[in-house]
């Protein structure tokens, strides 16, 4: 069994931490793990993305087209940009908070709302207002942890491992809110 996970968002959304959590959880669950992320544009709110592949033996972090199992869309447009890697029927966990790129803000381009909505034709899209769910958990900065909780339902990894890794990787003052956010995601019903 190989799991191919894509993460897509914009700078400042916590993609690097989310990637690190997934990698550590998969490693502790006994899998071989490979990962990469592109964060060079993150300082200006630019697009960022990454991948995590895990299984018995993994040779490359790169996900071939049409082999993505799960796409974590921290921002809808960025999820759409990377949806070409997804297999038909794959899961897209889509944070509903839109973060408009400069060309859209300058009215040079239109935000592709219809194209984003059309992803539902080929994929199992789970829409979530992750910021609102994180707020209910105690910290709006835990939005990605909500998304990770939703994703965890589709992986065969004990939630105790997730909890342990979260406790070790988020700031102490944010641990409980992140644990709460993870379980809000894990039990989330769209």
Domains delineated in the chain: 3-186 (3.40.920.10)
Determine the pLDDT at residue 129: 97
Q: Going edge to edge, which strands form the sheet with 2-10?
A: 32-38, 47-55, 2-10, 68-73, 86-95, 124-128
Determine the pLDDT at residue 28: 98
CA distance 155 to 152: 5
Could you read off the pLDDT tens digit of each residue along the chain, which spans 190 residues?
899 999 998 877 888 899 999 999 999 999 999 999 765 555 556 778 899 999 999 999 999 999 999 999 999 999 999 999 999 999 999 999 888 777 777 788 888 999 999 999 999 999 999 999 999 999 999 999 999 999 999 999 999 999 999 999 999 999 999 999 999 999 999 8
- The full length of the chain comes to 190
Determine the pLDDT at residue 44: 56
Determine the pLDDT at residue 99: 80
SS3 166: helix
In 3D, which of 72, 84, 82, 96 has the Cα closest to residue 149? 72
Determine the pLDDT at residue 155: 96
- Vertex 187, ends 135 and 87: CA angle to 5°? 105
């Amino acid at each position: 069994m190989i799991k191919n996970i894509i993460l897509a968002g914009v700078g400042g959304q916590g993609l690097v931490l989310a990637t690190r959590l997934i990698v550590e959880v998969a490693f502790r669950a006994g899998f071989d793990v490979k990962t990469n992320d592109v964060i060079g544009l993150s300082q200006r709110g630019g697009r960022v993305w990454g991948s995590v592949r895990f299984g018995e033996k993994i040779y490359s972090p790169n996900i071939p087209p049409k082999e993505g199992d799960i796409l974590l869309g921290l921002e809808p447009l960025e999820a759409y940009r990377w949806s070409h890697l997804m297999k038909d029927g794959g899961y897209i966990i889509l944070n509903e908070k839109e973060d408009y790129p400069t060309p859209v803000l300058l009215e040079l381009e239109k935000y592709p709302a219809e194209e984003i909505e059309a992803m539902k034709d080929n994929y199992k899209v789970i829409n979530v207002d992750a910021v609102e769910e994180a707020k209910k958990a105690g910290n709006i900065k835990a939005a990605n942890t909500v998304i990770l909780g939703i994703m965890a339902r589709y992986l065969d990894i004990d939630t105790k491992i997730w909890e342990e890794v979260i406790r070790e990787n988020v700031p102490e003052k944010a641990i409980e809110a992140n644990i709460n956010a993870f379980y809000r995601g894990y039990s989330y019903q769209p």
